[in-house]
Amino acid sequence: MRSIYLRVEKAGIIRKVLVDMAFLAKHNIIRLPKYYFEEGLYLPYKNQNNSSASENYYLTKDKSFKEDNDFYYFKFPFKMEHVFDVAF
């Protein structure tokens, strides 16, 4: 299983957050600890119509479909091969 990262850009610095791959593979849901959440967090993916183009899927609180005391839960609307896995 490959690793994928969420990213956030602040002041020209890109910070990466590793996605819980075991939970994602089993449930097809991104489970994000609340202490990792911040505005501007996104998942880069390849456009399905044009594979050379990339877009960003921003995780915002309104896209969270479930929340508990420790985690936010986001639907994963892509196939794994459309998501960039290279960490830079």
pLDDT at 3: 84
Q: How far is 23 from 19, CA to CA, in rounded Å?
A: 9
Q: Tokens 């839960």, residue?
A: 73
pLDDT at 53: 74
Mean pLDDT of the chain: 86
pLDDT at 79: 81
Q: What is the pLDDT of residues 5-22, one digit of tens each?
A: 899 998 889 889 999 999
Indicate the SS3 state at residue 65. Answer: strand
Q: Is the Cβ–Cβ distance between 72 and 34 less than 8 Å?
A: yes
What residue spans define the domains of the chain? 5-82
pLDDT at 86: 60
The more confidently predicted of residues 32 and 47 is 32
pLDDT at 75: 92
The strands making up 5-10's β-sheet, listed across from edge to edge, are: 13-18, 5-10, 42-46, 54-58
